[in-house]
Amino acid sequence: MKTETLINTTLGLVLSGGGVKGMAHIGLLKALEQRGIYPSQISGVSAGALISGLYVDGTSIEDMLVFFKETPLLRYNFVTVNKPGLFDTDKYLPFFDDFFTAHRFEELDKRLVVVATNLLKGEPVYFEKGELFRPLLASAALPPVFSPVSIDGELFADGGIMNNFPVEPLTGACDVIIGCYASSMKAVGKGHIKSGLQISERANLLMLHANAMDKLHIPDLLIVPEKLGNIEVLDKKGIDKAFVLGYDHANRKLDEWLQ
């Protein structure tokens, strides 16, 4: 595959969930930009959905990292009172206003697809029209940490519950598909799981991993950054590390593929 060939094709990009591990996606985007490669269609879930939205809205690589560093994850005054979940997801909406220019999918220059899980109907829903912020927020609302998001009278949560690698919207619509899978997993000892939150994080990771495995062969190029398993899903201290791991791995894989 030559860079010149990619420039003249409909290139799709699918970005998985993974929490802080998902910062590896930003590393991939930087590696692509440095080669003059710009996807025209992006499908994302959870952290991958947030990054996809920022990217399609024209946010720079540096400002994407700032968004995740400055947006609080587990702030005590965001604790829920009358909603299911530990933290009130709606309280994160003002941070979108600070970083996004577009407020609707139709205002974006490229096709963006965001998947969230309809908790009431038990099915994945693919958003690409209408209001932008609430589907992005819902896609990343990992239960039971974050409360579900209400959209049109339905309750939505993390899209990774049903589909942690949403390649389907791009299949048949793109000539070439690149995928980045950041929900890496490693075996852990009993001492690693000491609290209810850690049990929840581990169970969610196993769930996300299981529903993506059968689809990782679909992209023409799959990026699976190594050593992300050492980064905790909600540990903001791992943002820069995940970004560098994603960037370095993407550089190696892209060089091999483009030759």
Residue 136 burial (CB count, 10 A): 27
Do residues 147 and 155 make contact, with C-beta atoms less than 8 angstroms apart?
Answer: no
Give the integer Cα–Cα distance in Å for 237 and 259: 35
Element at 33 (helix H, strand E) = helix 23-34
DSSP class per residue in 224-258 = --TTGGGS-TT-GGGHHHHHHHHHHHHHHHHHHHH
Give the integer Cα–Cα distance in Å for 185 and 92: 28
Would you please indicate which residues are annotated as catalytic (active-site) residues? Answer: 46, 158
Residue 175 main-chain phi, psi, to 5 deg? -75, -35
Burial class (CB in 10 A: 0-12, 13-18, 19+), 153: exposed
Torsion of CA 206, 208, 213, 214, to 10 degrees: 130
Give the integer Cα–Cα distance in Å for 132 and 127: 9
